[in-house]
Amino acid sequence: MMQQALDFRAASDALRDLVAPLDDADFARPTGFKGWTIDAILRHLHVWNEAADMSLRDAAAFHAFFDEVKASLGKGGLPVFEEQRLGASRGRRWSRSGAISTGRWPTASLPPIPRRASFGRGRA
């Protein structure tokens, strides 16, 4: 397995363990990162993990996703886009839903491969 996949699994496991003892009020508390709540940070991580997975599986869907992101930037930015995309999942439901789980991301078992679709280079 690629080192990046192992690192992703370790980081995901550490994050899951970190939020496991929190109650719903803790998930709504602002953090030192731009004042985002833990809920907002978890939504952000989840949406962009989905985007990374999509970039490996379906470049057209990934680019359509990116077009949605661009369109949302003038309508409240990424946090608003991410909340609209994922809905109202909040609090402890995150840790129970599997949103913080490497088992959800089968890309961890992929062998090293050439550069995939991205927001930057190679996009027309």
Has residue 94 been placed in a domain? yes
Least confident of 24-28, 57-61, 109-113: 109-113
Mean pLDDT, residues 24-39 taken together: 89
Q: Is residue 30 part of a domain?
A: no
- Domain residues for the domain of 51 are 37-109
pLDDT tens digits, one per residue of 59-85: 899 999 989 888 888 888 888 888 888
Tell me whether residue 77 is in a domain: yes
**How far is the C-alpha of 96 from the C-alpha of 68, rounded, in Å?**
28
**Is 67 within the bounds of a domain?**
yes
Mean pLDDT of 104-109: 52
Binned at pLDDT 50, 70 and 90, residue 114 comes out as: low
Q: How many domains does the chain have?
A: 1
pTM of the predicted model as reported, rounded to 2 decimal places:
0.72
- Does a structural domain hold residue 2? no
pLDDT score of 31: 92
> SS3 string of the chain?
CCHHHHHHHHHHHHHHHHHCCCCHHHHCCECCCCCCEHHHHHHHHHHHHHHHHHHHHCHHHHHHHHHHHHHHHHHCHHHHHHHHHHCCCCCCHHHHHCCCCHHHCHHHHCCCCCCCCCCCCCCC
Residue 28 domain flag: no
Inside any domain, residue 60: yes
Residue 29 lies in a domain: no
Does the pLDDT at position 94 exceed 80? no
What tens digit of pLDDT does each residue of 44-59 get? 888 888 888 888 788 8
